[in-house]
Structure 1
């Protein structure tokens, strides 16, 4: 094998540096000029692996078709194809690849993590609802991971074993594994692992009806979630600072280049005195057009600044009015609380306190929407699309919103089925659902009903949030769905809103590559339809 070919060395260098785009560029260049045939399998493997890292799985499979089973690293090809099949939820296909790996000689097991292969087989059988095989493979993987003292993978295997038992309603067998995973998670520094372990324990304690412990684990989950966010934010800031430093350096280089060019022109002017007048004329013309161009840029920037100021003024005007109304209502309710406490009227006092909670929650949601909207406008919102279990998300949100439903005696019906997977960013998805539920609660009368359910059709999952509140006419629906950079103000009886939450929802729905539509009529309630790509 001739490893001295320049393009091969460059491709290999960028492959080891995990610069996938450069791998594809140099390997394409090499394949065009027909390299040494002994290098072809290596080129195709590096290209296929790069496509896999870029989530272009069909391209990966095409590249791997060019690699002979006799290649010394062919087991890596099988491993990657199994991982792709698992990612694409082609579980039977994934199992066939993993079985092929397990049939290889033990001598090759030194070059890959056998516990990971066995664990992935367990996951595939779990999704196929073959729980007995799933349990057996996951048990084998935990033993191997215990021997290797691979704590991170062991925590994941414990969680997956617990989920196998949970799916069979064997809570007494599932809970010890959740507890083991949580105890091990305390010993690692991976915030994501800590976050998942705390969330699982919160759900366990909720099912046990132990609200105090459930809330404690929920707080711990939020703490690790914030730590993970801060860690990602620090990395993001570091990347921005790095880009800024490179940009500043490039500006200095450009400035020096411009100065050198000007000096060269001056020397040429001295040598070419006969063309001095023409050169002066050209220079004057250049500066004139440059000045005109700069003037146009300044004018455009001024217009953009004026538009931003209008948005800012509108935002502060609407939000300050809404906050003033919420705080004033809270103040009045506190006076009522004092009066009812003095009169010892427990029933009325309880109602006033529930109202205070609802007002405070509404004010908090407004401030949270304001922060999320500002973060989205300045392009600082961390966004990552992945496979999300909609059932789990709705369970969390239902738990958090129970006090709000109780404050208006609203019946909440959540029929989202288990294992409903969609392709979305989990944090922005929660923001969307919370805002739509806030609106449903706000415009649903006392003792009303709010239902949440899904519909699966042609590769899409449609999440429907339905209420039997006051509804709206076609004109209001058109105003809500209209594309506009500014906020609008709406009124309904005693409820006053900024429209910020719905505006934020529309922006986040678009970023999630989803669609939002409304079905409603006055007096008959409203249904919001969110259509997401399924990840199953």
Structure 2
């Protein structure tokens, strides 16, 4: 008990500013002030308090205070949800409305961080309802501000402004100056986003005067920065630049390069909208260098995209391409980091569940000990109770050992998975960088040929060059289409809208697309339609399947060969057969043809080059549409791809099962 009191006293001393002010004043401040909130959270403190909670005998009021501190110091959103729910449940048992409110408030914060804004709003309104029922006014303004912040994240500016003003009405009566200024800053930002610039300026200016009165430098920096952005929006560029530079000067004193970089990038966007490319380039470069120095991946990503756009507009395509490549690298890096974080959250959830199991086990042990104490007068019951306690202790040790063993195995599996993902990513980048070089170099070579013909006044030779341009453009376009579709499918963002489609119409469309391409290569393109069934599939992905397979058939068929597209029905499915008289596929390669592997990238009969990515898309899209794909091939004799798609919605559902 003395240990617990000591820990809580230390918390109250060390977190006085962080907990009372940063939590209260910066929780809803938005983009720039959020990094400061993390300073008040400490997972080590949370873990030590959990240990006290499990092992100590604590009275109810102290236990609720302890649970609140544990919840506040958690760094995982799932852990915050777990302990906030526990806080709500235990506070309700003793009818403590204040801690019920706090539990709902933390619950709202966790859901907001997870991006589940509907649940966040429900939790905040539950917290507000508890406060009004108990007539407890001190946290009403804070809760209104949290609700406004949630609507702000959801781009609901109207509701956000309404609740920010409700918060201000409460806070002004409590004379909570710094927090009032913070809410004014956020409300002004909402008016700014709502294109009500005059109202935004009034709120920013009032916030600035309060920060100035209390010499609150970090607040002054953000109020100056926001006023600067507003001036830029009004095309008052000199005033905008003065305010932004003053904000950055203050932020430099705090080392807040996160906000500095963001302000510079936003200024670049505003100047770009007003066609001031010189100023836009200057701010984008400054934001990029600041982010690069501090290793701020998100800012590097955003600045790289902005610089790519600016250099492209100035005709410097080399630099535009370099920054665009860097944008994709950092975008994918951030995506991978988010994947690793989700896996870490799963592990944390497992740890929390294990600790709760220990709490429940210890609670049961405490009840057993109380029963044994009552029956101390009977020696037989005492012996039985001691034996039972020893037995439970051994079982608990076995359980913990099993959990630790399972945890170790899970970590090993996760490490293996991450290693495979990293290898796949490296292979993918290697293949793409190699294959992009081909068509890009072709364009470079074509430009030299064109220049040579023009200098020599050999205009009749330019017709020959157009074929080379078409070939390089088609290769590059096909590669980029497949890259985009593959990326969308991997992220789960590919638009999948199954509907009734005419299989014959799709076959006719494919013949129209590739008829001239086959003719240019002196290949006969046959189409045999036995029946005209209606398939139940997503149109875009179904056409992508047929385009890739027919394109490959033409690619690997020599001149004077044949490519045949046959349509028939088999057992509730439409069957597409794409056959060619080309080079065929070795048996050992068929086994891995649908995997991302540089060995699957093969030259066509006319020197066409690909990544093998198209067949990966084909496999994924066939499965997505509830169909199947088979290969029949013999080296030197040609290849047949057989694709089936369901004829009805019911058959599609059965296929997915």
Normalized against structure 2, the TM-score is what? 0.40
Q: Which structure carries more relative contact order (alpha carbon 8 Å, separation 6+)?
A: 1
Larger Rg: 1 or 2?
Answer: 2
